[in-house]
Chains A and B, each alone.
Chain A
């Protein structure tokens, strides 16, 4: 490795860490569910059980919220990666259906909330 190889490697690592900090930094805000579609960004409370219809270019992606856990129930896309992504519960976790332009993300949450209760 030559000097500028190391410079660019360090720069890449700093950029990755910085973006991780910006995207995942815990805040004290209560947990909210953010659903981004072509129509805009919609925010929902996480503690209300509901079915959210996110409309995209391919059709409607059905997002299921139950017991503070969120998963994609039905998606019109071909590869169904969003369904395979499973269930999310904590701040910073996300689900995405790129073909249908749907991003689902849990925002907020304190640092304590992200640590498992069983950790001593």
Chain B
């Protein structure tokens, strides 16, 4: 029944907005951690990881858009080349995480693997773009740092998301559709 499914989608819209706001909050929280200026932990990815489980594809795309724009505003990079890098990284990470989530059977991968895959995709695309489009081939020297730190942060964020998924009663309620 298209009518009722449209109604359901509308009812879930505030939840997508809430997860978008969570992404923005995590993007701000990143300032607490001392990292090199060219590296981001990717905490804002946490709400997307959690949302993979219960949002539809269009809802996830909307969440990604909110995350990318929100992050640009929080970091003050919305109108700069850094925004091109980070938004391309976010898109690549989302595509890889979504595909892995859909294609790999549930018992074979946890949010840790999804987070690692997303981090790897995001950092590879960002290093590639910075070498080809922005800073030139010499910037490839930064790749091992980018990918190495990305592996650590991907592991940490995946572990955090997996722990939340297992223990959060709020998330369980959201999943069952009792909260909006």
Contact = CB atoms under 8 A, between A and B. Distances in A.
- Answer yes or no: are A and B bound together in one complex: yes
* Most chain B Cβ neighbours within 10 Å, of A3, A19, A79: A19
How extensive is the interface on chain A, given as a class? Answer: 20 to 34
Interface in A1-54: 1-9, 11-13, 15-17, 19-20, 22-24, 34, 36, 40-41
A101 interface: yes
Contacts of A96: 38, 139, 142
Main secondary structure of the interface of B (DSSP, over half): helix
A79 B110 CA distance: 39
A5 B109 contact: yes
Given A1-B112, A23-B143, A41-B136, 12 more contacts: A2-B107, A3-B108, A8-B109, A12-B154, A15-B120, A36-B135, A36-B138, A40-B136, A41-B138, A79-B37, A98-B135, A103-B136
Contact of A23 (B38, B144, B151): B144
Nearest to A12: B151
How extensive is the interface on chain B, given as a class? Answer: 35 or more
Contacts of B140: 19, 22-23
B63 interface: no
A23 B104 contact: no
Interface of B: 36-38, 100, 104, 107-110, 112-114, 116-117, 119-120, 124, 127, 134-144, 147-148, 150-151, 154-155, 158
Nearest to B124: A15
Contacts of B143: 19-20, 22-23
Contacts of A22: 140, 143
Contacts of A5: 109-110, 112-113, 116, 158
21 contacts: A1-B113, A2-B112, A5-B110, A7-B113, A8-B114, A8-B120, A9-B155, A12-B120, A16-B144, A20-B148, A22-B140, A23-B140, A24-B141, A36-B136, A79-B37, A81-B37, A98-B37, A98-B135, A101-B134, A103-B136, A103-B141
Contacts of A101: 134-135
Contacts of B135: 36, 98, 101, 103
A34 B155 contact: no
A109 interface: no
A71 interface: no
Contacts of A8: 100, 109, 113-114, 116-117, 120
